[in-house]
Amino acid sequence: MSGRPLDVLESSLNEAVTVHLKDGTTYYGLLAGYDQHMNLVISPEESADDRVEGDEEFAVAVEDTTIIRGDNVVTIKA
């Protein structure tokens, strides 16, 4: 697998991801799609309970299919 960002996103399609945004919000769900600008389409996971990422961050499960603009993304964890 290449380390290029779009290749990493391609390998993570239909897998659970955690997305950290510039405003400090963290979301998780299934990566349903993306584009060349790294805009993301996140779908709800089947077991959509809120969970804690690390010790202090609170991740919120997406409830509906959600589009996140790539400009707002800081990190994506698969």
Q: Which residues of the chain have pLDDT under 70?
A: 1-2, 47-57
Beta strand residue intervals within the chain, DSSP E: 16-21, 26-34, 40-43, 51-53, 57-61, 66-68, 73-77
Q: What token pair was written down for 36?
A: 């060349």
pLDDT tens for each residue of 14-25: 999 999 999 999
> Which domains, ranges and CATH numbers included, belong to the chain?
5-77 (2.30.30.100)
Q: Please report the pLDDT score of residue 13 as a whole number.
A: 96
> What is this structure's pTM?
0.81
